[in-house]
């Protein structure tokens, strides 16, 4: 029975690896990529600056909670940059695609900025929300263009 479970675990791991290593490619034109990329980059860079400003203004708890999305954004950007460094022209494995664009999607950052608006209600928290919405919107537009490579 134990050997059967071990074998099933190995088979499951192999199948997950195959699925996560499927290749995805986008046919987005250079112009469209730039149009989407610039505001997205402004968004995540602005989030990083605002995270620093949280600490500068004494919003320690909000600053600490903003670090998690900031780290995820850096991971996402790193995934997308590594694709270029490796010479892959808009070609990513499923794992890198979801890790890269998922990190930029705002799943954590938008709630953090909304909580900040509720608690502090100042311009910095509003800027953080706008920054993340920019990042998430344009990351999702780029993500939408990726299709599984046959």
| 83-113 pLDDT per residue, tens | 777 766 678 888 888 887 777 777 888 899 9
Backbone angles phi, psi at 48, to 5 degrees: -65, -45
**Average of pLDDT values for 37-61?**
92
Supply φ then ψ for residue 147, to 5 degrees.
-130, 150
Stated as kind and residue range, the H or E segment containing 86 is none
Report yes or no: 84 and 130 within 8 Å, Cβ to Cβ. no
Query: What's the confidence (pLDDT) of residue 14?
Result: 53
pLDDT for the residue numbered 12: 58
Higher pLDDT, 71 or 1: 71
Per residue in 43-54, pLDDT (tens digit) is 989 999 999 999
Residue-level pLDDT at 49? 96
Percent of the chain with pLDDT over 90: 27
- Phi first, then psi: what are they for 116, rounded to 5°? -60, -40
Domain residues of the chain, as ranges? 30-141
Instruction: Please report the pLDDT score of residue 67 as a whole number.
Output: 93
Does the pLDDT at position 114 exceed 80? yes
8 pLDDT more than 90: no
- In angstroms, the CA 108 to CA 87 distance is 31
45 Cβ contact list (under 8 Å, min separation 6) = none
Read off the pLDDT band of 34 (50, 70, 90).
confident
Give the CA distances from residue 108 to residues 65, 70, 143, in Å, rounded to whole numbers and listed in that order: 9, 10, 18
Question: Whole-angstrom distance between the N-terminal and C-terminal Cα of the chain?
Answer: 38
Q: Are 94 and 19 in contact (CB under 8 A)?
A: yes
């Amino acid at each position: 029975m134990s050997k059967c479970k071990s074998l099933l675990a190995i088979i499951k791991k192999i199948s997950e690896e195959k699925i996560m290593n499927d290749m995805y490619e986008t046919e987005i034109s250079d112009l469209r990529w730039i149009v989407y990329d610039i505001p997205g980059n402004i968004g995540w860079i602005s989030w990083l600056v605002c995270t620093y400003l949280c600490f500068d203004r004494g919003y320690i708890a909000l600053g600490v909670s903003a670090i998690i999305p900031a780290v995820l954004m850096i991971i996402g950007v790193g995934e997308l940059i590594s694709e270029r460094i490796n010479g892959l022209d808009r070609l990513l494995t499923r794992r890198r695609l979801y890790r890269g664009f998922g990190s930029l999607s705002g799943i954590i950052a938008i709630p953090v900025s909304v909580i900040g608006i509720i608690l502090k209600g100042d311009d910095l928290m509003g800027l953080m929300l706008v920054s993340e919405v920019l990042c998430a919107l344009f990351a999702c537009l780029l993500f939408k263009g990726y299709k599984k490579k046959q």
